[in-house]
Amino acid sequence: MSPRFTDQQAKAINTRDVSIALAAGAGCGKTFVLTHRFLSYLDPTGEPDPLSRIVAITFTERAAREMRHRIREACREALQQCDEQHVDYWLRILRGLETARITTIHSFCSGFLRRHAVDAGLDPQFGLIEPAFAEPLLVRQINETLHQKLEERDEDALALIREYGLERTSQHIQQMVYQRFQIETHQFELQDVPQAAESWIQYYKEIFQPALIKELMESNALKRVHEVLSNNVCGAPKMEERRKIIVSILDQFTEWPNPLAPLQEIRENLNLKGARANHWEEDSTQEELKLLFKSVKDDIDKILEFDSILEDDIEPIIELGQQLFRLGQHASWAYAEYKREQGLLDFDDLLLLTRNLLRDLKSLRIRAADGIEYLMVDEFQDTDPVQTDVVRFLCEQQLLTGKLFLVGDVKQSIYRFRRADPQVFLSLRQEVPEKGRLPLSTNFRSQPEILRFVNVLFFDEVEENYEALQPFSPIQLTPTPTIEFLWADENSWEKKANASVRRRIEAETIAHRIQQMLQDETPRIRTRDPETNESILRRTEPGDIVILFRAMSNVGLYEEALRNLDLDYYLVGGRAFYAQQEVFDFINICQVLDDPTDEISLAGVLRSPFFGLDDDTIFSLKYQPKSSGEEHSLLQAITTEPPAHLPPEQQQQIRQAARVLTELRSQKDQWTLVKLFRYLLEETGYDASLLHEFMGARKVANLRKLIDMARQFDRSGLYTLSDFVVRLKTSLREESKEELATTHPETSDVVRLMTVHQSKGLEFPVVIVSDCAWEPSPQHSAVAFHPHLGPLVSPPTKQGESKKSLGQQINHQEEKWADKEEYKRLFYVATTRAADILMLSAAFESGKSLSSPWMQLLERKFDLQTGLLKGDPLLGQIAKPGLNRDEIPHVKVWREKPEIRRDQSTQTTRRIPLSEFEKLVADAEPISLPELLTPIDPSLGGQQVFSVSLIEQVVEQLFQHETELPKPDRSETSLSSIKTVPTTTVDQATTLGDIVHAVTERLQLDQDIDLTQEINRACEQLHVPVKEEVRQRAKTCLNAFVSSNLMEEWRTAREIHRELDFLLKWPPGKTGETTKKGEEPILISGQIDCLFQTENGGWRMWDYKTGIRSDKAYLLHHYRLQLTLYAAAVEQLLGTVPERMELIHLGQQMTPIEYMLYPETVTDLYQQVSQAIDYLRSGQPLPTG
């Protein structure tokens, strides 16, 4: 039986004598049309072997397999129904389908180059380098090229290293080589520097500046300013005068010869000085204009700032870009020569060489075009200019006359990071005669309510002439509303809570809504009646639901929320693989094997589950002197007999580490990577230890994936251990997109979590688009290539300052514009995945300006609080002119967490068959032991290591009556200031100190720091809720520190050690002294906040305090014991006490308080410490006050 086609499908399948450019909307059955267009080329009465003359190019291997499968099924059906005389034809077609040219563009180019290897100068048996494995080879060639150029005293290399240093120059060259594809695409050639400067200025004035001004003139803020000021008269005379000036300029803006002059005049008049709310017809006008004026002034300032950059000398930065370009070209040539010698190509080579071969050899181009009668290309919106050139060359003279059939949808172009350019589809479609420019807008996926919402939301947003999606069936089966705004309850977080806190609450809201849906027995999901084949409804199941993410950066919060409600889920991919601790551990072990002098990596290996050494042990290994008094390396320390004072189990682990690492080092050049890793796992039980950690099954799955990656490296035969290290470290640095390993099969009946990109081409009954309130963060590369401006590089930072590059600023702004458009297309793809129910989820504060592109788009069309259309809720003419009332979507808005049933008696528990028990146990996550089964803490008797804080506690209790604390200095703290201090609990005080210490440890001396961001990061790492008042107090403390002269002292220091752990041998003695035979030394452990060496060679020590009391006498008395022990530790380490020690009190102001070491005080404190240690070693309970 022949399938029934819609009118649009029939035209797309049957139109001949003209090439077809089909604009296929989401869910409109483009694969069905592609398949039947392909079948229409197969005619039993025509050519006997048509498959050899047809080429179908798809975007992915999965799409190629699906298309081949559909064609095969259709051919089998044709075979069953055909006349006897045509049986042989259809059998021949079926046999030939496996070799039919239904493939991806890269596979097509690979086959083409092998067939024409002689013309291309290639080995026909060339190998392909996977993108993940190309990087180490490229880095190797870049480093070799740079070193060679330095040996040759190359002027470009020397100049760049003078400006950027060796490491950054190497990184810049690598980034420039990555622009190879764009450079080849545009066949770019360098100009003289003065000529290039003229080109920059010309491009800025003729193209970029008009675009910048156009953006301003079309902005909602300026349009609204014009509207409000045109329709309102102000009662304040001076404001009324300014109002008239602004309106007059905007009315006649296009008549101004120089647009900057009117913009500056508008800028000067955008103020409300002298006007009050009652001067306007409506009081609200004043507040609205206040916000609008600020927004417009910011936009005008941006334009004027660009003009100020134009006044700078741009030739030096152009010269740097050209020097980098030339070095990048040399590295590219070296990389190409290496690949040629090895008989290898990468994926970019496939496209570029095919394009170049077709472009440069006319006879070959004609032969290739003659060998193809029909060329079909799917997902053309995701192609790039090089792929478009290949298509044009293969069509030759028949580009527009019926040879080409291409399918695309500009609204679904979401692969800019793969160089996809939607403009190439639009341009080629415009070339096709009107007869061949066909739409495909009948949607077979989504119910009418979802399509109504999508059409209203994206009308005039994602393409110039938006083609509305029409439902194939006009019947809405699922009860409305099927569109939901799932807004997290803003009363659930504190004012000014950070994004992580808000996302956590949003995640909980999503989890509750999912649980509520699963508990709801109302049929809402379409299915087919097996008897009548008609659409009916059933209740929602876990496998119906998908949560979509723009990126996987915060997916852990959503996983946690699902786990808390015992909702099973399946995580499909993400970017977080290289950020997992188990991957860090393997990076460290590989680095140690490759470079045993890397002590940071070695310390990471030793403290990881590989060997389980604690920090005190590692410190002791590194800083415990030999009998000669000399320190030794960490590697030497583990290969000698462990110090006797360490616990026996730690000594055993040290010996184990030495044995395993020695064996691995001796075999690293003989064994494969996989054999090295397997030996490591067998000897350390690392994989078993991972199972006992949180998400242990995931960690082990990631471990297996890492070993599989190593196996691929081994198979290539090209790579060394060093290359594998480069691969992992580069991927970590650049946050490469590598999926986490999975622990559930994809077909399980569980909730799925995936990115919008991964959902492309898929559909789901229930789609939840999460984190709609995300805010874009600038992702500006230091190196770029612009088709008009050429190579771009950010100016070097000198004396803490960096000039702005006109070229880079233009490129950044144009990238921002392009990203803005793609964000909307990404949102379109996300919303059109839904078949029955669509939910949009976010956490934001109502009444505040929204900076998220998705929320801004929603706010333009809908009232976020009611779900009604914006401006005209009854007729919808503002949101979408011409909209019929029955096309207005119904939206349910949630502002509170959905309620779920907690009564366990209402839940049904499935009984597990015995046959499934083994798998259930294997898949189960380990949990912590009950408290009764945990080990009992041993007593302190016989202990050899004591912390400074423990000793302080004991001394305070033992000698509390011998000393009296100084009373607060009333001259330093006024009564009013005491009243304004917020009440802080002990826990909050501890948290405050932890935050301040964490941020000061990460402070970069040569970079500006975003204190709010760093404080939020520190709070997230604490894994406990942190109140806003604590965050604000931390910011106050850190502001005081950053704005003080202490930062300058850091910048001029020779050496800086922050958060310095120590083990102080007690009692302190001369370096080299040993304890009595058979007696283990007593050690005091602690951590010094900051120890640094000044310009004149002296050492200074700081200890930060964040308490409420800041009076000098109290602080010096309270912390005298701590500081004295710190001084002893420094003396043991350096052979001298610090020349100056200071308590740094951080509050509203920074207060440094110097502590002096007086011999009599030190003697008394030493005696108290010794008595406290004797008390602790006696095994008696800790004293209480």
- Cα 406 versus chain centre, distance: 33
Reported as a single tens digit per residue, the pLDDT across 360-383 is 999 999 999 999 999 999 999 988
φ/ψ (deg, to 5) at 148: -65, -45
Regarding whether 715 and 761 lie in a shared domain, the answer is no
Whole-structure pTM over 0.85, yes or no? Answer: no
Task: Confirm whether 536 is domain-assigned.
Answer: yes
**pLDDT of 904 above 70:** no
The residue among 969 and 990 whose pLDDT is bigger is: 990
- DSSP per-residue letters across 999-1038: HHHH--TTS---HHHHHHHHHHHHTS---HHHHHHHHHHH
Range of the domain at 764: 483-573+747-894
Regarding whether 980 and 837 lie in a shared domain, the answer is no
Q: What is the pLDDT of residue 789?
A: 92
Reported as a single tens digit per residue, the pLDDT across 260-287 is 889 999 999 999 999 999 999 888 899 8
Q: Is 553 exposed, middle or buried (0-12, 13-18, 19+ CB in 10 A)?
A: middle
Task: Confirm whether 711 is domain-assigned.
Answer: yes
Lowest mean pLDDT among 224-233, 523-532, 851-860, 1075-1084: 1075-1084
Task: Confirm whether 281 is domain-assigned.
Answer: yes
pLDDT category of residue 634 using cuts at 50, 70 and 90: confident
pLDDT category of residue 1052 using cuts at 50, 70 and 90: confident
Contact yes or no for 1161/1142 (Cβ under 8 A): no
Regarding whether 553 and 588 lie in a shared domain, the answer is no
The domain boundary, picked from 705, 733, 761, lies at 733
**pLDDT of 644 above 70:** yes
Q: What is the pLDDT of residue 905?
A: 40
Among residues 391, 333, 393, the alpha carbon closest in space to that of 361 is found at 393
Task: Confirm whether 326 is domain-assigned.
Answer: no
Q: What is the pLDDT of residue 451?
A: 96
- DSSP per-residue letters across 444-468: SSS-HHHHHHHHHHHTTTSSTT---
What distance in Å separates the CA atoms of residue 158 and residue 971, rounded to the nearest whole number? 61
pLDDT category of residue 629 using cuts at 50, 70 and 90: very low
φ/ψ (deg, to 5) at 814: -70, -35
Regarding whether 694 and 612 lie in a shared domain, the answer is yes
What distance in Å separates the CA atoms of residue 1108 and residue 1116, rounded to the nearest whole number? 15
Residue with tokens 């997109």: 737
Return the CATH number at 650: 1.10.486.10
**pLDDT of 744 above 80:** no
Regarding whether 637 and 569 lie in a shared domain, the answer is no
Task: Confirm whether 455 is domain-assigned.
Answer: no
φ/ψ (deg, to 5) at 1018: -65, -40
The alpha helices in 343-475, defined as continuous H runs, are 347-360, 362-370, 385-395, 422-431, 448-458
Regarding whether 560 and 582 lie in a shared domain, the answer is no
Could you give the angle at which helices 131-151 and 155-164 cross, rounded to 10 degrees? 110
Task: Confirm whether 158 is domain-assigned.
Answer: no
Q: Is 29 annotated as a binding residue?
A: yes
What distance in Å separates the CA atoms of residue 387 and residue 680, rounded to the nearest whole number? 46
Query: Can you give the three-state secondary structure of 55-98, one letter per residue?
Result: EEEECCHHHHHHHHHHHHHHHHHHHHHCCHHHHHHHHHHHHHHH
Regarding whether 563 and 590 lie in a shared domain, the answer is no
Return the CATH number at 88: 3.40.50.300
Q: What is the pLDDT of residue 503?
A: 93
pLDDT category of residue 63 using cuts at 50, 70 and 90: confident
Regarding whether 506 and 433 lie in a shared domain, the answer is no
Task: Confirm whether 318 is domain-assigned.
Answer: no
pLDDT category of residue 225 using cuts at 50, 70 and 90: very high
Regarding whether 882 and 1011 lie in a shared domain, the answer is no
Reported as a single tens digit per residue, the pLDDT across 189-221 is 888 999 999 999 999 999 999 999 998 998 888
| Mean pLDDT of the residues in the chain | 84
Regarding whether 364 and 493 lie in a shared domain, the answer is no
Q: What is the H or E stretch that residue 1059 is in?
A: strand 1055-1066
Distance set, CA 607 to CA 594, 616, 617, 689, 876 (Å): 19, 10, 9, 13, 63
Contact yes or no for 388/423 (Cβ under 8 A): no
Regarding whether 879 and 831 lie in a shared domain, the answer is yes
Regarding whether 817 and 678 lie in a shared domain, the answer is no
What distance in Å separates the CA atoms of residue 453 and residue 485, rounded to the nearest whole number? 12
Q: Is 27 annotated as a binding residue?
A: yes
Structure tokens at 648: 């026996």
Q: Is 30 annotated as a binding residue?
A: yes
Q: Is 343 annotated as a binding residue?
A: no
Reported as a single tens digit per residue, the pLDDT across 682-725 is 888 888 887 776 566 767 777 787 787 778 777 666 667 777 77
What distance in Å separates the CA atoms of residue 225 and residue 241, rounded to the nearest whole number? 15
Task: Confirm whether 336 is domain-assigned.
Answer: no
Question: What percent of the chain has a predicted confidence (pLDDT) above 70?
Answer: 86
State how many domains the chain has.
5
Q: Is 835 annotated as a binding residue?
A: no
